Structure 1
Amino acid sequence: MQTIKIKTHSPKNTYQKPHFFILNKGMNSGKPLTEACLNCFVLEFADQAERENYYWLAFGLWQSKFWHLHLVGSVIVFLRINEFKNLFISKASILQKDYEQHLKNVHALKVLKEKEMEFYKSITLIKELRSAVLRRYLQE
């Protein structure tokens, strides 16, 4: 297992290695992002395959609301970087024990994400068609 480089993102920085971002403030803390925002951590990897594996681990942890137990703060909740590092690395080491199953899960998640996007496009088209029919109907 490669070492994961996790640090707080700064808008001044550019990243050459494969990377993704993790939102660290609000109720969506722990959400993996492909684009940077002001309140996020950056995770850098040696290669794209490794980035992809860890991205889906982060996505699974976020979807299962794993990070909610570790949020601190009274008005705006946030995730501490040290706690994030320790927990993410421990989850990553568990992932390495059954790597073959992890790859199957990642493939299934990718397929589901593609289907979700197809359905989203279909719903958008249906809404547009509904609007067109209503406009035509109301303009007669």
Structure 2
Amino acid sequence: MLYFEIKTHRPGITYEKPHFFILNKGQNSGRPMCIPCPNCFVVITKNEADKTTLFYLTMILQQGQYFAYYLKGSVIPFITINDCKRTMLSLSNHNPEDLKKRIKAIQLIAQNEEALKQNLNKLKQLKQAFINASLKCNIK
């Protein structure tokens, strides 16, 4: 069983224990984040292993739109801290071995996604450099 505390984040507070943040307002409610924003919860764990597991578990829940069921509000949708905690607890109590396999798969996918984003950024820079060089040749 994973141990965690979930609280409303207040800007300016620093946390000593391993932690991550969960967006609580907007259509991306439930998205885990490493950097806080004004509208988020903080999940505090006992160790890094629990933090990593819960981070990717939350990513699975958000990508699977499990938090969407709990969205409230007509103008700016949001999730409550109790709904967030209940959803996280419901999935964290499933078969631990199956959960570990799924989290490892999600970690690999996230790493590949990040590598692709970096490659796309480099290609974008290369394209921009090529365009700039082409324009300089045509102007002279």
Q: Give the structure-2-normalised TM-score.
A: 0.91
Write the mapping of 1:72-87 to structure 2, written as runs, cut at 5 A.
72-87=72-87
Shift of residue 2, structure 1, vs aligned partner: 4.1
Q: Which residue pairs with 1:88 in the alignment?
A: 88
Residue in structure 1 matching 2:107, options 98, 107, 110: 110
Q: Distance in 2 between matches of 1:86 and 1:63?
A: 17
**Residue ranges of structure 1 left out of the alignment (5+ in a row):** none
Shift of residue 21, structure 1, vs aligned partner: 0.7
What code does the residue aligned with 2:30 have?
A: G
Q: Which residue pairs with 1:122 in the alignment?
A: 119
Shift of residue 50, structure 1, vs aligned partner: 0.8
Among the aligned pairs, what percent are the same residue?
A: 36
What code does the residue aligned with 1:74 have?
A: S
1:101 aligns with 2:98: yes
What code does the residue aligned with 2:129 have?
A: A
Q: Distance in 2 between matches of 1:123 and 1:2?
A: 37
Task: Number of aligned residue pairs: give it.
Answer: 137
Q: Distance in 2 between matches of 1:106 and 1:87?
A: 16
Q: Which residue pairs with 2:52 in the alignment?
A: 52
Deviates more, 1:44-53 or 1:9-18: 9-18
CA RMSD of aligned residues (A): 1.3
Q: Which residue pairs with 1:40 in the alignment?
A: 40
Shift of residue 57, structure 1, vs aligned partner: 0.5
Q: Which residue pairs with 2:23 in the alignment?
A: 23
Q: Distance in 2 between matches of 1:13 and 1:128?
A: 37
**Residue ranges of structure 2 left out of the alignment (5+ in a row):** none
